[in-house]
Amino acid sequence: MIRVLIDACGWKAVVDAGINIDKALLETVGVTNLAILPNVIKELESIGGNLMLDMLIAKSTLIDTPEGVGNHTDDQLLHYSIENNWPILTVDSELKRRISQSNLRWLEVIGNKHLRLVE
């Protein structure tokens, strides 16, 4: 089973597009387990609005903030992605650039309709 790291902007894009995350992940990467960092939860809480945060938390495994990585969410996401080869759900172009430079994978919302795995 693959684990997918959730970035705040990636989750917001999924919600804004009205994507059924379970179906989209099943079609894109197979059976998955979502992983979320405390910083991502804080970012989503600060955005506010209807981001279905309770559902995301219920579907996700909360992973610890990695030690020695710093407090920036992108650094933490990248750390776990490198360490475990987990793709990150994001639409953040700078984070995608860093993921690409590390020869890792990410999931993105395209066409406001579905997810795409970029390898």
Q: Are 85 and 1 in contact (CB under 8 A)?
A: no
Q: Are 114 and 15 in contact (CB under 8 A)?
A: no
Residue 105 CB: number of other CB atoms within 10 A? 18
What CATH number corresponds to the domain at position 63?
3.40.50.1010
Give the structural domain span for 90: 2-118
pTM of the predicted protein model: 0.95
| Best CA proximity match to 35, nearest among 10, 71, 67, 15 | 10
CA atoms 70, 96, 4, 54: torsion sign: positive
Q: What is the pLDDT of residues 10-69, one digit of tens each?
A: 999 999 999 999 999 999 999 789 999 999 999 999 998 888 999 999 999 999 999 999
